[in-house]
């Protein structure tokens, strides 16, 4: 046995996933599982049950489907499996992940309307209402909760109210928020919520999951536009065969995810994890502002998960050099993703604590070369 310590990792990942995981999560992967065996399938069922209870207090009305691949595969599984041939999708977007849903819909030939709110404004319900009054053909509305492009937290409750009032099916990409902020799908009128193993639940990458209103998903038989991403078929197999996946599943990753769920409970649940993230993000943004940096988003739109920061106003600054110096100091940060300004990003989800943010700020100050 080698002595596995947290310092096996040469640096902390301050990224929006994959992210730094706990030693116990990584160690949970150190055995092999038979994908058809009862031991493994029971683990899958326990995960599905835990996820639905994390998503809503009305858990009897909802169900979970796990899907191989990264988070994008699960988003595509939903969009390509739940919209009927005569349906029409509306995507509200303000970043790359909203745009990606539009791209998927186009690949599958799904009639799609796009409302683009730019990169630094939250999506809003007033123009949505107006559009829904004009276009009765729209059947499904999709939005990203935490737009990882900028760190924007979109008002999914307001959008859910409108979706409910107009009787539309409501799809939320909660990839980088689920498990890190309290929410209740039933209260928010969400029919499909999508997330993945390697974000706020703090597992390792390899699969995504969809939490769905059971009565909605039950209508989706035969609607899928692909075989391997057929959400209904995957669900039916998991339901009928007690946690069986249709094709080879990422067994080690699934076992590590179970451990990550246990650790979420040990931390005190989603509310406590949210407090940690919020505290870390606050220390980070206030500390950077003290060091002369400017944050992209106003505080009221800022998520507790990832922060976009403007490049310092100096010709001597390059992101490449800054990145390398921080990596040497033990921190991996993230490039920016928006088109209208030069920014970089720092994530604070994962096995990352407020003290790590203090250490990062000290490293930023020490490595200032501009
Ligand atoms: C991470 C993420 C995804 C999925 O990205 P993958 O690279 O496919 O895991 C989708 N939407 C949002 C908002 C994300 O943060």
| CA–centroid distance, residue 313 to ligand 1 (Å) | 30
What is the average per-residue pLDDT within 269-292?
98
What confidence tier does 35 reach under pLDDT thresholds 50, 70, 90?
A: confident
What confidence tier does 148 reach under pLDDT thresholds 50, 70, 90?
A: very high
- Give the per-residue pLDDT at 1: 34
Q: Where are the domains of the chain?
A: 5-21+268-365, 29-265
Q: Do domains 5-21+268-365 and 29-265 have the same CATH topology?
A: no
Neighbours of 3 (CB within 10 A): 5
- Which residue puts its alpha carbon closest to atom 4 of ligand 1? 71
Cβ of 17 less than 6 Å from ligand 1: yes
5-21+268-365 under CATH 3.90.1150.10, yes or no: yes
- Give the CA distances from residue 115 to residues 78, 84, 277, in Å, rounded to whole numbers and listed in that order: 20, 21, 30
Cβ of 95 less than 6 Å from ligand 1: no
- Which residue puts its alpha carbon closest to atom 12 of ligand 1? 175
121-143 confidence digits (pLDDT tens)? 999 999 999 999 999 999 999 99
Alpha-helix residue ranges (DSSP H) falling in the chain: 23-27, 38-55, 71-82, 96-107, 125-134, 156-165, 185-188, 214-217, 231-240, 251-267, 270-290, 319-328, 354-366
17-28 confidence digits (pLDDT tens)? 899 999 999 999
Looking at ligand 1, which atom is closest to the CA of residue 95? Answer: 13
Q: Name the residue of 71, 119, 123, 174 to mutate for ligand 1: max ligand atoms within 8 A of Cβ.
A: 71
| CA–centroid distance, residue 240 to ligand 1 (Å) | 29
| CATH (one of 1.20.1260.10, 3.40.640.10, 2.40.10.220, 2.170.120.12) for 29-265 | 3.40.640.10
Among 230, 94, 108, 104, residue whose Cα is nearest residue 153: 94
339-362 confidence digits (pLDDT tens)? 889 999 999 999 999 999 999 999
Cβ of 234 less than 6 Å from ligand 1: no
Cβ of 71 less than 6 Å from ligand 1: yes
- pTM of the predicted protein model: 0.97
201-234 confidence digits (pLDDT tens)? 999 999 999 999 999 999 999 999 999 999 999 9
Q: Name the residue of 195, 196, 334 to mutate for ligand 1: max ligand atoms within 8 A of Cβ.
A: 196
Cβ of 144 less than 6 Å from ligand 1: yes
**CA–CA separation, 151 and 344 (whole Å):** 11
Looking at ligand 1, which atom is closest to the CA of residue 208? Answer: 9
Percent of the chain residues topping a pLDDT of 90: 95
**CA–CA separation, 147 and 240 (whole Å):** 35
- Give the per-residue pLDDT at 7: 55
What confidence tier does 5 reach under pLDDT thresholds 50, 70, 90?
A: very low
- Which residue puts its alpha carbon closest to atom 3 of ligand 1? 71
Looking at ligand 1, which atom is closest to the CA of residue 198? Answer: 9
**Inter-helix orientation angle 156-165/125-134, to 10°:** 20
37-81 confidence digits (pLDDT tens)? 999 999 999 999 999 999 999 999 999 999 999 999 999 999 999
Cβ of 76 less than 6 Å from ligand 1: no
| CA–centroid distance, residue 238 to ligand 1 (Å) | 24
**CA–CA separation, 210 and 143 (whole Å):** 14
| CA–centroid distance, residue 136 to ligand 1 (Å) | 30
| CA–centroid distance, residue 210 to ligand 1 (Å) | 13
Cβ of 175 less than 6 Å from ligand 1: yes
Cβ of 174 less than 6 Å from ligand 1: no
- Asked whether the beta carbons of 196 and 207 are under 8 A apart, the reply is yes
- Give the per-residue pLDDT at 338: 87
Cβ of 196 less than 6 Å from ligand 1: yes
Please list, in sequence order, all residues whose beta carbon lies within 8 angstroms of the beta carbon of residue 93, skipping any fewer than 6 positions away.
Answer: 99, 101, 102, 114, 115, 116, 117, 123, 143, 144
Percent of the chain residues topping a pLDDT of 70: 98
Cβ of 122 less than 6 Å from ligand 1: no
């Amino acid at each position: 046995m080698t002595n596995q310590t947290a310092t096996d990792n040469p640096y902390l990942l301050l990224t929006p996933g994959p992210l730094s995981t706990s030693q116990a999560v990584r160690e949970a992967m150190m055995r092999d599982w038979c994908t058809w065996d009862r031991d493994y399938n029971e683990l899958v069922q326990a995960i599905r049950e835990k996820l639905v209870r994390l998503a809503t207090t009305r858990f009897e009305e909802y169900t979970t489907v796990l899907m191989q691949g990264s988070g994008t595969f699960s988003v595509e599984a939903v969009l390509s499996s739940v919209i009927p041939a005569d349906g029409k999708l509306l995507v509200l977007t303000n970043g790359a992940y909203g745009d990606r849903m539009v791209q998927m819909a186009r690949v599958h030939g799904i009639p799609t309307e796009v409302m683009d709110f730019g990169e630094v404004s939250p999506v809003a319900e007033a123009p949505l209402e107006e559009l829904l009054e004009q276009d009765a053909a729209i059947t499904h509305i999709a939005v990203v909760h935490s737009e990882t492009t900028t760190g924007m937290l979109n008002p999914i409750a307001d959008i859910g109210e409108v979706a409910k009032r107009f009787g539309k099916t409501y799809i939320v990409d909660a990839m980088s928020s689920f498990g890190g902020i309290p929410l209740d799908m039933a209260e928010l009128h969400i029919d499909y919520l999508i997330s993945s193993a390697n974000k706020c639940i703090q597992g390792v990458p390899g699969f995504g999951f969809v939490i769905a209103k059971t009565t909605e998903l039950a209508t989706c038989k035969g609607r899928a536009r692909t075989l391997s991403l057929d959400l209904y078929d995957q669900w039916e197999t998991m339901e009928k065969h007690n946690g069986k996946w249709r094709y080879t599943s990422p067994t080690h990753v699934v076992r590590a995810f179970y451990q990550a769920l246990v650790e979420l409970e040990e931390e005190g649940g989603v509310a406590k994890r949210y407090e940690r993230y919020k505290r870390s993000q606050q220390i980070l943004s206030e500390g950077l502002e003290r060091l002369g940096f400017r944050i992209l988003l106003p505080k009221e739109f800022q998520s507790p998960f990832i922060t976009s920061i403007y490049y310092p106003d100096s010709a001597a600054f390059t992101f490449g050099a800054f990145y390398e110096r921080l990596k040497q100091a033990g921190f991996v940060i993230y490039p920016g993703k928006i088109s209208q300004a030069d920014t970089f990003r720092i994530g604070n989800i994962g096995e990352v604590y407020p003290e790590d943010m203090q250490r990062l700020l000290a490293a930023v100050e020490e490595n200032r070369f501009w």
